[in-house]
Amino acid sequence: MKVKVVKVLLILTVLFIWLHSLLPADISGVESMKWADRLNLAFTSLHLPLRFDGDHVLRKMAHALEYALLGVEGSLYYRWTGKLKKRCGLHHLFYIGFTVAFLDETIQLFVPGRSGEIRDVWIDLIGFTAAVLITALPAARRTD
């Protein structure tokens, strides 16, 4: 049951990522600024000296976080299906993360006002890799 649930979550996360890449720049920008305003309001109410001036940093953080989520989900899926124990299991997991990130940025090449950025692929992979190293690597190295 848990394998089916995490598989559905994986699919939904990839769809979320790719559907947001299909948003034209003006719509995506408005959505990002709404999140920046919400977070700034929360920081202010908590008396934290943090502030998003614009949405650039927030968008890069969102890239890393959504791919970290994908990395956790992928790690759990590979762990629970036993694929991490196979010879190429961990390599295959990283290949999936790269493919999703590469296609994500490729989608943006065809959306008005958007551009595919190699920098964003790297940011995506940093989030994905950090999550995999934390969740999958210990399980892959176990000998049980």
Q: How far apart are CA 54 and CA 65, in angstroms?
A: 18
The 10s digit of each residue's pLDDT in 78-125 is 888 888 777 677 889 999 999 999 999 999 999 999 999 999 999 999
What one-character DSSP code corresponds to residue 23?
Answer: S
Give me 141's structure tokens: 């190295």
Percent of the chain with pLDDT over 70: 94
Considering only CA atoms, which of 101, 93, 98, 73 is closest in space to residue 140?
93
What pTM does this model have? 0.86
Considering only CA atoms, which of 64, 72, 69 is closest in space to residue 127?
64
Q: How far apart are CA 129 and CA 70, in angstroms?
A: 10
Considering only CA atoms, which of 21, 17, 142, 35 is closest in space to residue 71?
17
Neighbouring C-beta atoms of residue 104, cutoff 10 Å: 21
Whole-angstrom CA distances from 119 to 37, 64, 116, 122 are: 25, 11, 9, 5
Per-residue pLDDT band at 144 (split at 50, 70, 90): very low
The 10s digit of each residue's pLDDT in 40-60 is 899 999 998 888 887 788 889
Q: How far apart are CA 15 and CA 9, in angstroms?
A: 10
- What average pLDDT does range 18-29 have in this prediction? 92
